[in-house]
Structure 1
Amino acid sequence: MGRHGKWAGLVLGVLLVGCGGQPEDRGTADTPVEAAPADPAFVADNEAWRAERRERLLQPDGWASLIGLHWIELPAHYVGSGPTSGIRLAKGPERMGLLQRQGGKVYLTPESDAALTVDGAPAKGRFELVPDVTGTPTVVGFDDGKGQLVLVDRGGRKALRVRHAEAETLTGLAPLDYWPADPAWRVQARFVPHPAGKTIPIMDILSQQQPQPNPGVVEFERGGASYRLEALEGEDGGLFLVFADRTSGHESYAAGRYLYTPAPAADGTVEVDFNRAYNPPCVFTDYATCPLPPPENRLDLAVTAGEKKYVRPVPTT
């Protein structure tokens, strides 16, 4: 079991207690809501979304391609796949180069025969690694473009995140499992904005906590009961929801799921389609730093929609 697998076992009890039950006792189920008839267009749209999601995971730079997350602990490290490297890569050149921290920045001096690229161009001498928090991280390519390396910054701690097109988690990606698409889980909710600039503390799977912009709360009803989810900033004015529910640790991933919504309408209405709830990257790899649901987003509700628990294939080596 990987480090995240062990962590998931510990977090399971915490999340389910927060949802109102113990791992061995799911408590009283929410009031059943009869499934709405699914028209062919709705089903086809969900199938297309699921196919697109799998295609994204199968990309050479998708989450399933991660092969390492190496924290930079010393002022200098040699990087490579060889046994003498201080940061030893699972795949790549035996000697990639010398990594150095100076003045809060990180630099890499490549070996002459490492054949690295920097943002698509051949590497020529020492260069700075710009971290991912800038939005435009430096991308170091190796193994004829099959491998990628970027610098990540998590609360001031820096690490090398490494991807490879031949990662076993990518080449051996198992089928994704879903509940049947159900229009009844496409909820018309209400967005209640918070004062401008409000943030919410979000813990990640490495137990690091950072404040995240918290534009407002999403309120919806299900089976005659009301529920609320604190929202993070999404894409194109939309919202990003990180939540756990009564399926967490049972039919779905113990550490919760993610869901994007479109931008709320002028009257505050927003569609929350739980059929599009999906697993965080930590389901597929031990090298992601996934945000976890805040306590406010542990629903006392079984969300039987969206993506179910993923079972990783047994490694071949």
Structure 2
Amino acid sequence: MSDDPADPLGTTAPTGPEVPAGRTAWQEWHEHRVAIVSAPDGPLSLTGTHWLADHPAGRIPAVPGRWRATDGGVSLTAAPEDGLRLDDEPFTGSAVLAADEGPPAHSRLAAGEVRLVVIRREGEWAVRVFDPAAPARRAFTGIEATPYDPAFALPGRFRPYGGDRTVQVENADGRARGLDLGGELDFAFEGVEHTLQVAVDEVDGSLWAVFGDATGGRTSYRFRFLRPGVPAPDGSVTVDLNRALLPPCAFADHFICPFPPPGNTLPFAVEAGERRLKGALATGI
């Protein structure tokens, strides 16, 4: 599940392999999701996103090493007492790092059990800290989700734009950023037609949507993600709202998830899929 379509952290919250529709398949998907988000390097373990522009001296509080953005990447300088490991080997000296392309478990840098992930957004560099001992991970008791309802598994059709369109949307950190959209997804619910603007993954052609609905901020998190998969050659694809996902920022405040673009707030209640975190963490809805 990602902050945005380009975020490699989307792999921390995958929808799982494609499986036949049905209650049993949904239960397996839900259990897989709980396991992924509660993993030692899952989204619950994110304790900080540190923009290097905010630390011109190169020192990030509680993060070892000295960090500096360059034209070619992020320059990191470390001393032996920093206790850093690069590519599973003790690291001292200097190196220039590119943005991590995989999940936190595959990041090149570690300090003990903590993973340090280099990211880039709209030309700005940051370091993310994933700590298995994060308070949010220790307090996690599960994801509140509505049991599978076939009424929310809907036939849909994807209509590509013929090129990306970029819209500015507010992000969870209060900043507006560009969101690339590749087309529209049409479907009907209770006899009424609806449309969601969707991004298209450049690698596999799968669709990705950020949407709101009438439950947002009430009985569900304020917005959710949906990954319908890869449409057929004729554009047909199942819009299974039973697999609506909580965005990463529902698990940790340090993600920069985009809010729904204009027109992506559905006028009906999507009482399906993941709704919010259970217990004391069910806040910020």
CA 1:243–1:274 in structure 2 vs 1: closer, same or farther (change >3 Å)?
Answer: same
CA RMSD across the alignment: 2.3
Distance 2:184 2:263 in 1: 10
| Larger Rg, first or second structure (1 or 2) | 1
Equivalence for 1:216: 183
Three-state SS of the structure 2 residue aligned to 1:213 is strand
Q: 1:245 to 1:128 in 2, by over 3 A?
A: same
Distance 1:74 1:67, change over 3 A: closer
Q: Deviations over 1:162-214 (max 9, x none)?
A: 00111121122121111121011111011111122433334321233333332
**Quick check: 1:141 aligned with 2:121?**
no
Distance 1:215 1:102, change over 3 A: closer
Post-superposition CA distance 1:17-38 (Å, at most 9, x none): xxxxxxxxxxxxxxxxxxxxxx
Deviation at 1:103, TM superposition (A): 4.3
Does the CA contact (< 8 Å) of 2:73 and 2:96 recur in 1?
Answer: yes
How far has the Cα of 1:135 moved from its partner? 6.4
Structure 1 unaligned blocks of 5 or more: 1-39, 79-86
| Cross-structure match for 2:277 | 310
Q: Deviations over 1:109-157 (max 9, x none)?
A: 112123311133331411123224x6699631011xx101122222233
Q: Distance in 2 between matches of 1:66 and 1:154?
A: 17
How far residue 41 of structure 1 moved from its aligned partner, in angstroms, is: 7.7
Q: Deviations over 1:242-274 (max 9, x none)?
A: 1000000111111x0001012111222110110
| Matches of 2:61 and 2:55, distance apart in 1 | 14
Deviation, 1:229, is 0.2
Residue 238 to residue 103, structure 1, CA distance change in 2 (3 Å) = closer
TM-score by length of 2: 0.82
1:76–1:101: 8 Å Cα contact kept in structure 2? Answer: no
Match of 2:37 among 57, 62, 86: 57
The alignment partner of 2:130 has SS state of strand
Show the counterpart of 2:8.
Answer: none
Residue 126 of structure 1 aligns to a residue in which SS?
strand
Corresponding residue pairs, total = 258
TM-score, normalised relative to structure 1: 0.75
What CA distance in whole angstroms lies between the structure 1 residues aligned with 2:160 and 2:71? 40
Instruction: State yes or no: 1:97 paired with 2:77.
Output: no
Contact 1:67 1:164 survives alignment (8 Å): yes
* 1:52-109 Cα shifts (integer Å, max 9, x gaps): 101111222211111112222243323xxxxxxxx212xx7xxx22223344642111
Percent identity (aligned)? 33
CA distance in 2, matches of 1:242, 1:157: 23
- Write the distance in 2 (CA, Å) between the matches of 1:53 and 1:129: 30
- The structure-2 alpha-carbon separation of the partners of 1:196 and 1:157, relative to structure 1 and needing over 3 Å to count, comes to closer
* One-letter amino acid matched to 1:56: I
Report if the CA contact (8 A) 2:78-2:84 is conserved: yes
- Mapped to 1, the partners of 2:194 and 2:82 lie a distance apart of 54
Paired AA for residue 172 in structure 1:
A
Match among 113, 120, 123 for residue 156 of structure 1: 123
Q: What is the rounded CA distance, in whole Å, between the counterparts of 1:41 and 1:112 in structure 2? A: 53
Partner of 1:287: 254
Match of 1:306, as an amino acid? G
* Of 75, 79, 104, the match for 1:107: 75
Local SS of the residue matching 1:296: coil
Structure 1 counterpart SS, 2:39: coil
How far apart, CA to CA, are the structure 2 residues paired with 1:67 and 1:139? 18
Aligned residue type for 2:27: E
